[in-house]
Amino acid sequence: MTGAWAPFGQRAFTVLWVATVVSNIGTWMNDVGAGWLMTSLAPSPQIVAMVQAATTLPVFLFAILAGAVADIVDRRKLLLVVNIGLSVVAFAVAAVVQADAMTPVLLLVFTFLLGSGAAFIAPAWQAIVPKLVPRGDLTAAVALNSMGINISRAIGPAVAGVLIAAFGLVWPFALNAISTLVVIAALIWWKPAPEAESKLPPEHVIGAMVAGLRYAAHTRALRLVLVRAAAFFLFASAFWAMLPLVARVVLEGGAGLYGGLLAAVGVGAVAGALLLPRLRAKLGPDRTVVLGTVGTALVLVTLALVPGVVPALLAGLIAGASWIAVLSSLNVAAQSALPDWVRARGLAIYLTVFSGAMSVGSLGWGAVATHASITTALLVAAAGVLVAIPLTLWARLSGLAEDHAPAHHWPTPDTAQDDAPTTIWIAYDVAEEHHDRFVLLMQRQKASRRAHGAFGWVLRHDTKVPTRVYESWHEASWLSHLRHHDRVSITEKALQDEIRALLTTPPDIHHTTGRIKP
């Protein structure tokens, strides 16, 4: 297979992809059932919107912790354990619904628990994708994963609507519980190739979380993705928060109509995924995101001002295509900005921004709909998502890809040091004509050092030798510095080679350990 379908040439990717699609169909059936059940238990717009918030809020709360755990432990085992826990909760939800004992508070609690499981699964699941396909197929694999999610969205809601109307509300919850067993079986089957074990001890969870946040703070490429994500999802969340109310209140429909609207979104997303590779090749990621954002605004305006089932279904098709254009572009950009050692943590930070914007947005649009109207909420969100376009154009997604493979070009220090705070200082002899270029490159190196844990970074000139410049920084421990050795990427090596080319002699490197004086 070639092109957009190339990842299906990898058996492990195909099996896990199919299992994920089946599981996501169950998840969408559960979401439709939960949203529709809440409109019966408590039809207030604020309460209905809280179902969406309860789904996404756990990702905001737990994703960074989940990402740190996924970067430390065996990701396959983590996915197995969490999916088993999710299966238990899903079967419990089905049992409570069957017993007709569900309450609004209990439904929100169960939704929160399922969302918490998803929060621990998402970073690990996304982080294993580069291990399932060749590097050249990563973009196609991310797009296929997005397409799989939206195939599920096309099938799950439609099936849920039919099941609710024909057999009762318990069936979407029951089939969701059964679908979790498919993923568990696929993970038991999957036997990934063993990875080379690091000679260094694993990071502690808290330290790993700090390292992930630090990497994000000092990595420009990831920061740009986060800005674009927050600006879009904060306003686009109005579509998901208001859709159950549009179906029930505005269009005066039933569960079948709600499922049909979500199915239209899924169909639009699948069609968008098939067109996306050609679209991205022609427009690039930035203009693709702008196009998807404009499409989302059009959808919100249509739902607000053009009542009717047919316009709503057409809006759903456009919404799906627009959603996948933005989501896939942002996801690929986030993957491209991350090396493997921090991949799950970086993706977790991306998911935190995504879910935080979705949660805050859902609650906000629910409040607007409660105190004003559903139409007002949709129109204000449409205006916001359009205004965000010119305000975020500076955060460009193109040109962010780097080679994050470890370079391993730093020689291992000859002598062991105490595992205490460590200071590194380097003397450079710079040709006078290259001084300005050297200083500019060192500012880029400053960000690189900080992303790997450096603090107290200083660049100073020797007052007695005009061509000599000293770089110094601290790291939390000697172990942290050894991890820095292991993680310097090929792109960072290229920067360091460019700096060395400006020198008249090789740099003189020294390390000291001990208490760092203020």
Tens digit of each residue's pLDDT (9 = 90 or more) over 497-512: 999 999 999 999 888 8
CATH 1.20.1250.20 in the chain, residues? Answer: 9-191+205-392
Question: Would you say residue 397 has pLDDT above 60?
Answer: yes
> How high does pLDDT run on average in the chain?
86
Which of 41, 16, 135 lies closest to 96 in space, CA to CA? 41
Q: What pLDDT is recorded for position 416? A: 56
Q: What pLDDT is recorded for position 368? A: 92
* Contact predicate 15/189, CB 8 Å: yes
Q: From CA 418, how far away is CA 94, in angstroms rounded?
A: 56
The model's confidence at residue 83, banded by pLDDT at 50, 70 and 90, is: very high
Which run of H or of E encompasses 261?
helix 255-305
Which of 352, 331, 338, 332 lies closest to 66 in space, CA to CA? 352
Which of 270, 240, 99, 105 lies closest to 173 in space, CA to CA? 99
Q: From CA 286, how far away is CA 280, in angstroms rounded?
A: 9
Q: What is the fold of 422-513?
A: Alpha-Beta Plaits (3.30.70)
Looking at the whole model, is its pTM more than 0.85? no
Q: Which residues contact 278 (CB under 8 A, 6 or more apart)?
A: none
* Contact predicate 471/442, CB 8 Å: yes
* Contact predicate 402/221, CB 8 Å: yes
Cα 165–370–310 angle (5° rounding)?
Answer: 45
* Contact predicate 329/401, CB 8 Å: no
Tens-place pLDDT, residues 181-239 = 999 999 999 988 776 666 777 788 888 899 999 999 999 999 999 999 999 999 999 99
Residue 324 Cα distances to 6, 112, 277, angstroms:
19, 25, 12
Q: What pLDDT is recorded for position 449? A: 93
User: Between these two residues, 314 and 149, which has the higher pLDDT value?
Assistant: 314
Which CATH number does the domain 9-191+205-392 belong to among 1.20.1250.20, 3.30.70.1710, 2.40.50.140, 3.50.50.100?
1.20.1250.20
CATH 3.30.70.100 in the chain, residues? Answer: 422-513
Order of all β-strands in the sheet with 508-513: 455-461, 468-475, 422-429, 508-513
**Can you tell me which residue has the tokens 């609207």?**
261
